[in-house]
Structure 1
Amino acid sequence: VTEVTLSNTKLPSFIYNSETGEEDANKFFPDSLVLHLAYGYENWYGDEKAKHKIQIYELAERLDIADSEHRYYSNYEILGRHYSKLLAEKEFSAFGAVADTMTDSIWGSLKNAPYIMKIRLDDELAGKLFSLSKNQLSDPNSLKDAFNGLYITTADPANPANFTGSLTNFSMMQGYSKLVLHYRKELRELSDDNEEGKLIQVTPLSYTFPINKGARFFNRYTHQYTSEVEWESTDASRLMVQGLAGSYSKIDLSEMITLWADSLSNNQDSELAYGISGVDLVFYVDTLQDIDELRTPISSTLSIRHQDENGNPVYAGGTDKNDKAVSAFLYPSASYDKASNSYTFKMNQEYFQKAATGEIEIKPFYLYLPASSYNFNRVMLFNKHEEHHPKLKVKYVKYSK
């Protein structure tokens, strides 16, 4: 679901003649309205040859302003909020299975620029935008009142059970995805009685309605998990971390950390003292879940967070007795290490010591993919495994008082 907005080029209207400074409906005419959707090389997940049927509709009502109280989520109800008329339908695959899609040769010529898929929309909508008045083109809000935006979806496959499918990440923030109105200016001969006659010149013109930060856009989707995913179980054989509001893994380290309470407490009767020199939290990736025929890249990073009362990911850490904020980890994300096939989070030694001695409340941690609101990757981690289960590695020094 996306809006469009106005470009920096100011036009009183599309029939405005800059030569005369007046509107002239007899010289300007609409040609076409084309939606540009951009995506990068290998910026997809799953079967790159899977064929999808993209369908585009016009929104029937204005999107509300998004704020802290009103946000758009994946379960946004679209029924009744778009017109029934289909503006365009196009068969699409991420890579090479149908015409007008990315191929190796096209990617080589792009020199790292994204591929632009172009979809011509219904001529009636082109005429509607071409006829926008001076007031409707005066500011973005007036435009959005006149044209609410587009609903871009895919038709359900004919045989879902045998359809692997794919996800493609279209770039909506870099200026490549946009709506372009093509129109023309005609110049005709004038007869002796001032009547227009033979066409002598056609000047092609275009206007871009950008999709950028000035336009609200969001994804709608649902997850259809199979019985292979084990929910709410500490005995699950695997931990699945998935983006797009998918599953995340809850990690409770309270028992393991508080085991160090006695060793790290200032026990006056003991002749020995302990100090923490390093704490690593390690998760191992199950790469056997990957399928050769599908593109399922391992995420380069994995994030660790707490959750707020609304279930949203927040900074992981706590507050000590002096009201000092202490981060739980040195870095909120861990990079994938191919050699060990793992992610390692470096815990803050100060946090570990204060958490172990009860000075900081130990809240559950949650594993997320970075930018999970639009990251469609997933990571499968070992959980109940003899060798590759998650590990909390504590390095310490022991010394005499």
Structure 2
Amino acid sequence: MSARVSVFPVRPAAEAEGASLRNVDALVERGLVAAEARAPLDAVARRYAVSLTPAVAALIDPSDPADPMARQFVPDAAELVTAPEELADPIGDAAHSPVEGVVHRYPDRALLKLVHACPVYCRFCFRREMVGPGGDALTGEKLDAAFAYLAARKEIWEVVMTGGDPLILSARRVREITARLAGLDHVKVTRWHTRVPMVQPERITADYARALLVPGKASYLAVHANHPREFTPAARAALARLADAGHVLISQSVLLKGVNADVATLSALMRAFVENRVKPYYLHHPDLAPGTGHFRLSLAEGQALVKSLRGHLSGLCQPTYILDIPGGAGKIPVGPAFLSGCETPGSGGVAEDRDGRLHAYPPA
């Protein structure tokens, strides 16, 4: 697949202002969708939420039918095709949800799903059957029950705030959450998962960045981005405010056909993260969410792409290629192997270097 890293000129800030585009009519009016495509896309929008922030809309090149930003955020008639293997809950959240709003799949960490809405809706979202503007935030008795569960499980060392996108919450609500997290003595690490710094960077003020800190805890923030074009000057400034406030920034990306599934784009994306003090963390193989087959490539193709990064890109830029096993069994690394022939204890092996040359390694 050819590289797609050419720079599309970002529109001036004044042109990126205004309301989010939340339906097909708005996309047609903006010139991001052809009028004749309205009927099938209306059917998509009736099933899956649509929203593009002004910052995202400004990054789309409407003259390019294969624009990688449009592919991420503009609905596509292909979303109406559901393959037999696709699942409404592809990673099995429900099977590991002891109380509403909590997913406790691994012993030492739990997800706290604070909201069901996002500022943008990714067309490949693994929670697309559960998120949207009509979803309720976790409040009142439901929030109390979620925190009671977290408080009672002393093995929980890390709490991950997710959704939806938890950074759509106001600074006041965020401070209420962080105050409650601060009271959980056994929790040592907190982590926020978000696209907001990239798609709505104006929300990340210095005050908001400080509000996300939990007193007495190590604070991590996982930033979701899939294409180097997302690193606009405004997004870079938002990331700097978060890093300067004291958050450790890590990345989350999804390997997507037509968006970043080539060496040049992946390399540029990972370098952009590192240049902005974001440590590449997970590169996800696309989940089996309904209507997302047009984004998926094979695991072998993904492994070959990730393998091409090793040795040709700084170690700081290497993500872990991850598969979330369908049904809820958890994440596993599925990156390529560079060592073979060492399966038997005491045996040596054959090591493959960055140029594909093989080297014998002696037995112990």
TM-score (norm 2): 0.26
Q: Which has the higher helix share?
A: 2
Q: Which has the higher strand share?
A: 1
Q: Which has the larger radius of gyration?
A: 1
* Higher RCO by CA contacts (8 Å cutoff, separation 6 or greater): 1
TM-score (norm 1): 0.24
